[in-house]
Every structure is written in C-alpha cells, then in structure tokens.
Chains A and B, each alone.
Chain A
C-alpha cells in the first residue's frame, strides 16, 4: 500500500481557503499594524515571501511551504515539495541560499519512505544551488513535508506580485491543470503519459524561467499555486488594474481539459471559486475552462508581467528551457471594457472572450 492512500488531502489543494485565512489573521498583532521599516515586503501586500533589508545592497527573502502528499512516490513527493517551496524565492526575483526541512511523519509508517522524501527534497535544493542547513521533525497521523527557504536579493531588484503596469503582457511559464490531473490520478483515471507530464511539471524548478527575467524589465511576478491562476492573478491586478486573459492561449497539461469537461472537479478548485468566483467576468467561459482557471497548482509556474514590446522576447527566452511558457494576456487600466483586449493583433484566431479580473 502506498503512503498516499493514508492521506485525506494533499498538495497545494490542502491550503486553507483564501477568505478563511484573511478572517483568521484579522487582529493578529503584526498583521497590518506597525511594521519594522526594514521589512520591505511583509504580510500587508500578500506577496510570495517576506523580504527584510540587511544592508543597502542586501535583503534576505524568507518563505515556508509544506503539505501532505498528492502523489504516491515519496522521492518525487520530496522533489515537488522542495520545488514548490523554492518557487516563492524565484517569484521575488531572489536566489536561494539555504533551506530547513519541515517533517511530520507517522510513527508506524516505514521510515524508508521518509528517507526517500528527504532525498528527493535534498536533490532539488542542490539543483537550486542552495544547501539544506537543518530542520525539524515530529510524529503526526499523516505525513507532511516542506521547507523553510532563505534567499537573497538586491533591495532594488525585488519583484513584487502587485506592481504590474498598464500595457504589460502576461507570461505563464508552466501549463495549468496540476490539481485536476493529480486528483484524477488518485482516483485511477489518469493514464501514465498524462500522469508523467503532470509530475514533470511539478518537479520542475522555476529557477530557469526566473533566470531569464534578469535580462528584462519585468514589472511584477508571482507564482501560481494553491489559489489557482485567477486568484493569484487578482493579487497581481491589485486595485488599479485589470488582467485580461486570453483563455485560448492558456498552456494546459495533457488530460486537464478532458478531466474538467468530464466534471472531475477538485474540492480546492471549488473552494477557490466559492471565495472569489464573483470577482471575475466569466460569463462566456466554458465550464471546463472555468474549472482550470480556479484549479490549485502544486508547484505551478511563474506569472510574469512585462512591457508588451519585450514580452515575446522574454517568452522566447523562457521557452528555450520551459517550452510550454505562453503569453496569456494583458494588463489594462481598471474598468476598461472587454473590447480593449487586443493583446496579439498579429496573432490570428487566438483571442477568446477575455476574462476580466475586477
């Protein structure tokens, strides 16, 4: 019996719902209250990681991520957990330095499984050019694994998630549908080819796409994880912008659309929709695409906002190592009507009715 069958929920889909989280944090000292001026990015901006300035040229970036397994292979689960934890560092434009393991593991479960998880995590941290510096482990009913990662960035080069500009184009670096495919796989519906593609996407570090950004005037960046493309996109849009997404351009994992069209929806996707569905103009979007737009992405790709005249060059550069990256939309001023959505006048046949983030 695989260790996955012991778990009730896994991956980023196990995240506490966004609305629920905001409610829980209300009134907690430090959240929204007086801040240390050296805390350049904190909770107030709902960004991917915290950034703390040390010197005029150096800031530390700190993030933590852990979850229970969403796949059955412990080594690959370790790789995915590490790629997912490291991703927040890359989304800030930073480079990882070291990581600490977080482990919850059942007393009675085969410890060989835990060894494999840790080996998978260590391999990804090594690939990221960082080191594992320690960790903490406890016994628990269900296995959980993740890492607290510390990185560094020049304070002038921080990439925030909400600083997109009107006229920017949006690039998504990994295909969507991870939640749909992994939950279908748990129910025995995904053939190996489909499952392997989702695994490859989840274990892929965002390092390579992030490195390409350094040569371009990127305005904003975030990583797409448990809240799905639209809710993370909403954080990027902030109060002053609207993201217009061309649904025909979205890169999708094989199988994802079919599972969505067959109504094999995930619980976390529906929770995302319940909290935020009314913020978006989704009227002419097919039910299957809607499912994909709210699908939780464990170790998903980066969503990058970059001036339109540089977008194709950046997308081409990212595609050298991550060939599924696509330009998926455009940033417009708030309240702009849908007719303004001409992201690709040169591209025929692509533009569906845009989704407006409001």
Chain B
C-alpha cells in the first residue's frame, strides 16, 4: 500500500506511476489518499493509461481516507497514454471484451478520411467526378460509415453549393458523423461556407482514425 496521506498533488500520481512501472499487467497497486481531488487526479491518470480503477473508503482510522486500487494495463494500454478514453471503473479485461463485442456489429466503426476534393491522381476534372461518385456510393452501402473526416481540400466537399452536398445530407440522415478540419477551412477562408457537419481539429481527427476498426483513407 502506498500511503500519500498529507502529500499534495501531484505526489499521489507520481508515486502511483512509479509503482505501475514495476507492476505486471493485471497486478493491482493500492494507494491511500486523504482527499477526493487526489482520487480524481489518480483516476484521470489510470483512465488515460488504460488501467483499471476502483476506490472506496479506507479501512481503519482516518475517516475521510480513500483507498484507490489501480490495475496495471496490458503493455499496449500502458503506452496508449493521452487518449483518455471512457473506460472508467472497468478492468482491462472488460474493455477488451467490449471491443470484441463492438467488432461483431456489422458496419460499425468504418471511418472514411478524405484529404482532397479529387479522388486519385490525374486530371482534376476526372478526380472531382470520381469523388462525387464515391460519396454517392457511400450512400448506397448497406451499412453507412460511422465517420466521414474531411481535411485539406477535402473540406470543399462539405461547402454550400458543392455537388456532393446532397449525398452528404443523405449520409448525415443515416447517422454518419461528418467532421471537417477547422484549420483547413480557415486556411482556405471557407469556414463561413461550411454547410454540413461539425468543425474538428487534428487531435479529434487523429483520435477518431486511431480508434477506427476499419479506415478508408483517401488523401
């Protein structure tokens, strides 16, 4: 048991991380803290590192003391770091199980990333018409993608007056999340013309792509 009673933040996190570095996957690290904010900061760390997390009132003296239990993640999760996914209070096993369950659901988890207004290399006119056909084809799929991500000149496909807009509306109605890169819209001076979906940033694009179970990347 690591006792950090009376130690200010971030010392509880520092001590817990030291212990986790030495812990085998699945091994539990117990930390005794004297305030709930320290517990919350430990929880952010545990969730960010993909570790299991639980807590409860500490036994014995010190009525407000809290005993925190962090379960060391498998190696992959340890390096996973900053994403801070929503796996609060669940063990690594439960997370893996949930991931497997999701994988079984047909058509879920397809992310389509589009980094150009043209499809493929060659004449732009052909590329544009291929892209229009591609977006239309997405509407015809049995299972629509979960995400459409537009970046660089790809953002032009989601603007007012774009030939692809009607098909994107169809996709949005099917529940597709359509996100365009805010920096890219700014660069082209087109933010005000965005006609569908939300503005996103590189952090969110990267997170969505990294968490995709299947990714189509047209750049």
Contact = CB atoms under 8 A, between A and B. Distances in A.
17 contacts: A8-B8, A184-B10, A264-B10, A265-B44, A267-B41, A270-B41, A274-B40, A284-B203, A287-B82, A339-B192, A342-B191, A349-B186, A351-B182, A351-B186, A353-B200, A353-B204, A354-B182
Contacts of A248: 183, 201
B69 to A, nearest CB: 17
Interface in B166-195: 182-183, 185-187, 189, 191-192, 194
Nearest to B49: A263
Closest 7 CB pairs of A and B: A263-B45, A264-B10, A352-B201, A284-B204, A287-B84, A353-B201, A267-B9
B23 interface: no
Interface string B194-206: 1000111111100
A339 B181 CA distance: 11
Interface string B1-29: 00000101111011001000000000000
Contacts of B194: 339
A264 B13 contact: yes
Interface in B92-125: none
Contacts of A351: 182-183, 186, 201
A345 interface: yes
A271 B35 CA distance: 11
Contacts of A270: 9, 37, 40-41
A341 B40 contact: no
Contacts of A286: 82, 84, 203
Classify chain B: how many residues form its interface, as a range: 35 or more
Interface in B45-98: 45, 48-49, 81-84
Among B10, B14, B49, B185: residue with most chain A CB under 10 A? B10
A338 B198 contact: yes
B131 interface: no
Contacts of A288: 82
B192 A342 contact: yes
B148 interface: no
A194 B183 CA distance: 30
B38 interface: yes
Contacts of A186: 8
A288 B186 CA distance: 24
B8 A263 contact: no
A248 B181 CA distance: 13
Contacts of B201: 247-248, 284, 351-353
Interface of A: 8-9, 183-184, 186-187, 189, 247-248, 259, 261-267, 270-271, 274, 284-288, 338-342, 344-345, 347-354
Given A266-B9, A284-B201, A353 B41 contact: no
B191 A341 contact: yes
B interface majority secondary structure = helix
A353 B186 contact: no
Contacts of A263: 10, 13, 17, 41, 44-45, 48-49
A247 B199 CA distance: 14
Among B38, B44, B49, B192: residue with most chain A CB under 10 A? B44
A265 B187 contact: no
A347 B10 contact: no
A247 B200 CA distance: 12
B187 A352 contact: no
A183 B9 CA distance: 7
Contacts of B9: 183, 264-267, 270
Contacts of A266: 9-10
B186 A345 contact: yes
Among A261, A266, A345: residue with most chain B CB under 10 A? A345
A338 B83 CA distance: 23
Nearest to B192: A342
Contacts of A189: 10, 14
Given A270-B37, A270-B41, A187 B183 contact: no
Given A274-B40, A341-B199, A187 B182 contact: no
A259 B45 CA distance: 12
A5 to B, nearest CB: 11
A342 B37 contact: no
B183 A350 contact: yes
A264 B14 contact: yes
A265 B204 contact: no
Contacts of A341: 182, 191, 199
Given A8-B6, A267-B37, A341-B191, 10 more contacts: A8-B8, A9-B8, A183-B10, A187-B11, A263-B13, A265-B13, A339-B191, A344-B186, A352-B183, A353-B203
